[in-house]
Structure 1
């Protein structure tokens, strides 16, 4: 096994360390810095430096080394922290992240950025503490002064005159074999022997204890490693050439340690604060109880569980078609019920593997808010709620960018300048809240601010200026949705943050692509609440099976509000051949699925159809269907990957009888209906004269 096999693990752990570093830097109180936070920042830099050196990532190693030296002065109280210094530290962290990404993509890091940040850090050291930071050099193992005479002798030995004794404590045979192979990549293994309790490996070569520990810690805990320096005698080295274990030098007369050769001196880890502040053993046990698994493997399991659910549905359909009085049918029914419960429990357990807390998303925003507020000259307090709320990993990755744009938009357009807020009787510090919570089969993510709110008249005026079809009778909800129109912006001037009229339309499109919707509530002078409603997962959903003609379709259950039998007196014909249904003093656009999707042999009399009231993009519609079949769990199959994009259809699924059913896109169907009319393909609702003529605007 080559050392490159550990690259992915290093990249993942370095990402986590950089994230922790940023969090601690953002939380750091420069007036009264917490020593534990400073130590944690230093430990993160130290760990990244060690790993980068081991894997040959020299630019990252050198950058981190200089940064680590400066952090060392800060934690010792020799460097007085200020807000601008923390900003520089955050910039250094960003450049380290860029270097990490470059190595991940097998590219060379940006040399100009590397030289710039190193020069900046050196300048800080020169101005603040009157020193020039040491250039990075290959670290040599340090030794504990157990016996001063032997210690001084060992320190003066060259690599050819001594070797490192690496002791593995409580390591199983499989891991021991792997670790010995890795040590062979770092130097020459002269001997190795022992048992699971203590296994010793003698290693020669120009390798440091830090390098060894950096590799080992990807497999075992630091507490399971002991590294000692051992003097090598001439005849000892020669004996190893014939395959015999190399004898270890006898101890000086004044030192006697039967468990460890007396000439060996354990590497000194005490002075390093990152060692003294190690996690408690309890935490180490918890970490060892978890494993890293490729997302591809999890996706494969989810796909197999989906196929299992489809097969279970097919068996259930077959069993239901059997004669209830047939011999043994009762046992078969009971077995199928048990299989159904187990399949659902298995599906929920597997899906939970992909679920990760929203904290992974929210943790990015303290930096976003800090940087954006600094550019705008505003004072912002960020509050996060519901960080433990879980969401599918694929959605977490895709929601980050839209959420970032909403946050930046709220800071720029929502929260007022401090002086303006003070004049209005508000606190100078604006409040921005990020929250997440579950509601049914959905997750609700909200971005709330206590800023100026949206100006309805200004939005309408801007919409008319952009040539949009608007009216003064539009509801507030529809007016607020105008900000998602392409090219729409109410900013008075273009800034680094916003004002170009791009972004919000992309936000809405991306969220719709995830099967979600965006809702906006705002009150002038009090603030704005932007709510994102998303399904918990895109792999399996609860759906409502409906029948139109001879076709079966699926409506996402989260979009279904109610169903009713339309009455003739509640149907109205509008100008432009539109039809609306009156439901409790609200007029809902009617979508006849058989007309929009050209389904034959469907019920054409609306009073004999069923109107399913659904919601999409914050609006409600009445969909005319022939029959409600029932609720069922369906496995979502991407239609675009297997066929092509179909208007009005979001995905497909396989039913219990093996047939394919299309999963309908509510807003897509409405847009398709409008598009057909505008293109001249008349959507002929049967007997328009059948409906009442409505004098509605």
Structure 2
């Protein structure tokens, strides 16, 4: 298969996935009693579009399923058949079968294991049951299921349909352009208003609305010019190059320190302009990778529906902040943890309808998911109104496993036990829970991207889980500080102010070696970076030293450092991939002089102070 056709196939698979995601979202929001006509039309167009382009590539099984699906959907939207609850279940199963077929075609594997025949017969059965007069006989031809009165010729598009995009209605084969041919359009399908996360990223701007007199070809051209599909690998390469440019700019700024500004004025003007241009380029490139968290959230209505049905529970999902944007790399790492958490909320948290009624609650439980910006981080919250975590059961399970615990542990420490490897309070192992690996994976995935996860719970009221994540995994603005002649980076988003400590500001805690400082009548704990990182040298006297006031997770504290070096934009490098994980450190960066500076995990510092200084080799 030549490269031209491979390129077209790649676009086909991406757009097919987008249509399947759109179809699923619309199905889950349909009102059975009064279905929205626009939603029905959207579902029909998704199936219609996939069918049209799959037939051009000879994907017969895919065409067979979408043909029967399209027939049933067309009867529903035209009012010939009344929408039934069982149809939604079958439609969703058909969507899963179509996704399996796409995977098989993409990997060029055999489609025998995909239940194409079974789902097509179920769809045709619904047509026969609710509209016997219009039913058609379905036979197995060996290639998939084909209707005996149809050879799957492309149908005339509905009045509100566009052409298929890349291929017009009269195209008979999907062939790559020969030399000298006009380049085809990028898209296959007629519906591009909804896009889902796929293996490629798309940068899209609103297409201009064509005038009623505009020809279809002109309108398509206008729409095509508004977006372009770019592979993730190319975007990652571009971001890496921008990161190297930031490091180079920092090196030039470092070298310029030995120059006399009065004698080299033009050089300093050029460096200032380079700094400005580099920052603008970095922000523009980073925005390409920023995606709304709806790319994750949109899959959870289906997860909640399927899990609740399997457990015989009634659960409503409430989503907030779907348009909150974060880095695509963070999104990819967040999908599995959120799936584990939501399933656990339904399985362990939400009670059965009978239990909820007995507890004075409504039969239907609620799971809430929200996302929002807080400083330079993204906060994702998942909560339920179930029975909450059982402190007694968790402690009993911990004792059974020989963990070092005590009865007077704080609730927040008890809840953290559920993240231990192999820890589970489930009475039996099911395909949903009980093996003790889910929550362990959750914390590992979250911490691997510089995030943290916290739990609060109240018996009978439910559980609230908060995940804090970095906005991006590439570049941040930081304050460079020096401790024991080593540079560290403090993210600017955590800094409230800095000051030189005076004697009247410092207070000692009775019976403790800890100290607090008074800043505008507010008492803040004073932490020393020397002690937190277990450095070999003693911290200098606090009085007369530099203190940075920091805010993390709603708490404010003071951090003593030796010196403030200056503000700088730094490129984040993973410490775990290149060395190993260090408590209190979230990453590393390369400074302008070529040295390595460690990026502080501000959220973790108060926790380290409470646990005692960590030990590092």
* Structure-1-length-normalised TM-score: 0.70
User: CA offset at residue 519 of structure 1?
Assistant: 1.7
Equivalents in 2 of 1:98, 1:617: separation in Å?
42
Equivalents in 2 of 1:143, 1:301: separation in Å?
43
Aligned match of 1:513 in 431, 445, 448?
Answer: 448
Contact 2:542 2:560 in 1 (8 A): no
Question: Helix, strand or coil for the counterpart of 1:63?
Answer: helix
Contact 2:481 2:563 in 1 (8 A): yes
User: CA offset at residue 290 of structure 1?
Assistant: 1.6
User: CA offset at residue 484 of structure 1?
Assistant: 1.4
Question: Helix, strand or coil for the counterpart of 1:111?
Answer: coil
| CA displacement 1:158-182 (0-9 Å, x = unmatched) | xxxxxxxxxx9xx9xxx9xx99xx9
Larger Cα Rg: Structure 1 or Structure 2? Answer: 1
| CA displacement 1:249-281 (0-9 Å, x = unmatched) | xxxxxxxxxxxxxxxxxxxxxxxxxxxxx99x9
Equivalents in 2 of 1:439, 1:188: separation in Å?
49
Contact 1:560 1:612 in 2 (8 A): yes
Aligned match of 2:50 in 44, 48, 51?
Answer: 48
Contact 1:2 1:185 in 2 (8 A): no
Equivalents in 1 of 2:488, 2:404: separation in Å?
33
Counterpart position of 2:83: 81
Give the 3 Å change call, closer, same or farther, for CA 283–586 of structure 1 in structure 2.
farther
- Which structure 2 residues correspond to residues 186-265 of structure 1 after superposition, within 5 A? 218=186
Equivalents in 1 of 2:281, 2:427: separation in Å?
54
User: CA offset at residue 49 of structure 1?
Assistant: 1.4
Contact 1:453 1:526 in 2 (8 A): yes
Aligned match of 1:385 in 320, 342, 349?
Answer: 320
| CA displacement 1:581-628 (0-9 Å, x = unmatched) | 567889898763697466xxx445564776768788999998764333
Does 2:314 match 1:312? no
Contact 1:519 1:617 in 2 (8 A): no
Aligned match of 1:294 in 220, 225, 231?
Answer: 231
| CA displacement 1:333-368 (0-9 Å, x = unmatched) | 444333322321221111111111111111111101
- Which structure 2 residues correspond to residues 16-55 of structure 1 after superposition, within 5 A? 16-55=18-57
Contact 2:321 2:371 in 1 (8 A): yes
Aligned match of 2:343 in 408, 416, 420?
Answer: 408
Contact 1:591 1:622 in 2 (8 A): no
Counterpart position of 2:468: 533
Equivalents in 2 of 1:510, 1:143: separation in Å?
49
Aligned match of 1:553 in 488, 495, 512?
Answer: 488
Aligned match of 2:290 in 355, 362, 367?
Answer: 355
Give the 3 Å change call, closer, same or farther, for CA 183–113 of structure 1 in structure 2.
closer
User: CA offset at residue 410 of structure 1?
Assistant: 1.4
Unmatched 5+ stretches in structure 1: 145-167, 197-214, 224-277, 682-697
- Which structure 2 residues correspond to residues 417-456 of structure 1 after superposition, within 5 A? 417-456=352-391
Contact 2:366 2:385 in 1 (8 A): yes
Counterpart position of 1:394: 329
Aligned match of 1:631 in 567, 574, 592?
Answer: 567
Counterpart position of 1:205: none
Unmatched 5+ stretches in structure 2: 139-145, 158-162, 192-214
Counterpart position of 1:654: 590
* Structure-2-length-normalised TM-score: 0.78
Does 2:415 match 1:480? yes
Equivalents in 2 of 1:566, 1:188: separation in Å?
75
Between 1 and 2, higher relative CO (CA 8 Å, sep ≥ 6) is seen in 2
User: CA offset at residue 580 of structure 1?
Assistant: 5.5
Aligned residues: 560
Counterpart position of 2:9: 7
Contact 2:527 2:560 in 1 (8 A): no
Equivalents in 2 of 1:566, 1:133: separation in Å?
89
Equivalents in 1 of 2:154, 2:405: separation in Å?
74
Contact 2:588 2:597 in 1 (8 A): yes
Range that drifts further, 105-114 or 506-515: 105-114
Does 2:74 match 1:72? yes
Give the 3 Å change call, closer, same or farther, for CA 435–393 of structure 1 in structure 2.
same
Give the 3 Å change call, closer, same or farther, for CA 397–287 of structure 1 in structure 2.
farther
Contact 2:540 2:562 in 1 (8 A): no
Equivalents in 1 of 2:360, 2:435: separation in Å?
31
Aligned match of 1:91 in 93, 99, 111?
Answer: 93
Give the 3 Å change call, closer, same or farther, for CA 77–133 of structure 1 in structure 2.
farther
User: CA offset at residue 480 of structure 1?
Assistant: 2.1
Give the 3 Å change call, closer, same or farther, for CA 61–618 of structure 1 in structure 2.
farther
Range that drifts further, 655-664 or 362-371: 655-664
Range that drifts further, 457-466 or 13-22: 457-466
Give the 3 Å change call, closer, same or farther, for CA 52–588 of structure 1 in structure 2.
farther
Counterpart position of 1:592: 530
User: CA offset at residue 482 of structure 1?
Assistant: 2.0
Equivalents in 2 of 1:466, 1:620: separation in Å?
37
User: CA offset at residue 373 of structure 1?
Assistant: 1.3
Contact 2:379 2:469 in 1 (8 A): yes
Equivalents in 1 of 2:310, 2:156: separation in Å?
49
Contact 2:526 2:560 in 1 (8 A): no
| CA displacement 1:443-490 (0-9 Å, x = unmatched) | 111112222233334433333333222233333322222221222223
Counterpart position of 1:459: 394
Does 2:124 match 1:122? yes
Equivalents in 1 of 2:451, 2:271: separation in Å?
34
| CA displacement 1:556-593 (0-9 Å, x = unmatched) | 4556678786999748999xxxx765678898987636
Contact 1:316 1:336 in 2 (8 A): yes
